[in-house]
Amino acid sequence: MSAKDDEIDGPAAERDVIQDEVDSAAEATSAEEPAKKKSPKPAGAHRAREEDEDVAPAAEEAAKPGLGAELEALRGELEERTHDLQRVSAEYANYRKRVDRDRGAAAEQTTGKVLTDLLPVLDDIDRAREHGDLVGPFASVAEQLTAVTGKLGLVAFGEKGDPFDPNRHEAVAHQTSADVDEPTCVEVMRRGYTLGERLLRPALVAVADPE
């Protein structure tokens, strides 16, 4: 073999060596890839998953105290609103009672004023009855008027022989008598009248005291 042939074979041989090294490296890489695919997960990954699973119940347990506090707050607010409603209901009931009482008092006051204006007419009827003049059509009118005033709640009082009551009787004369054991009305000059528990007019009487 000539020197020229050696110069040609030298680079060719070197190229073959390099190619063999590239092929060996490729085969090694191909062998490592399936191994990586089949290799098990590292132990750290299992521990991380287990830690995540443990964190979820712990988070739920930590959330329970917060829910309990919120529930207690809602219960407290409900009780407060219930007390407010009860207070408002009681105030409204008292208001209704006060309004009804005031309305009744106003109506009674108005009725009392009208009946007070009619008392002189009733006095004339009493005097006519005492003198026997209450006859004919006048007697019918007097009876109707007495009935109407009675329906309105007007009540007459003051009869001869009644015990003297300074809260209901006005004494215009005094005398002593052995026939009485206590101050007694012996004569009625004018009858008194009440409307319910209200005194419209006291009775004018003569009183006899025990001797």
Residue 110 lies in a domain: yes
Which pairing describes strands 154-157 and 184-190: parallel, antiparallel, or unpaired? unpaired
Contact (Cβ atoms closer than 8 angstroms) between residue 183 and residue 207: yes
**29: three-class secondary structure by DSSP:** helix
Task: Quick: pLDDT tens for 103-137.
Answer: 988 988 999 999 999 999 999 999 999 888 888 88
Percent of the chain at pLDDT exceeding 90: 54
Split into its structural domains, the chain has a count of: 1
Percent of the chain at pLDDT exceeding 70: 69
Check whether 3 has a pLDDT greater than 60: no
Mean pLDDT of the chain: 80
Residue 37 lies in a domain: no
Question: Sorting pLDDT into bands at 50, 70 and 90, what band is 49?
Answer: low
What residue numbers bound the domain in which 105 lies?
100-210
DSSP letter at 166?
T
For range 80-97, the mean pLDDT: 93
Residue 206 lies in a domain: yes
Residue 147 lies in a domain: yes
CATH assignment of the domain containing 197: 2.30.22.10
- State pTM to two decimals: 0.56
Amino acid at 8: I
Contact (Cβ atoms closer than 8 angstroms) between residue 200 and residue 112: yes
Residue 137 lies in a domain: yes
Residue 54 lies in a domain: no
Check whether 160 has a pLDDT greater than 60: yes
DSSP letter at 135?
-
Check whether 44 has a pLDDT greater than 80: no
For range 34-58, the mean pLDDT: 50
Residue 116 lies in a domain: yes
Amino acid at 70: E
Residue 8 lies in a domain: no
What pLDDT, on a 0 to 100 scale, did the predictor assign at position 67? 83
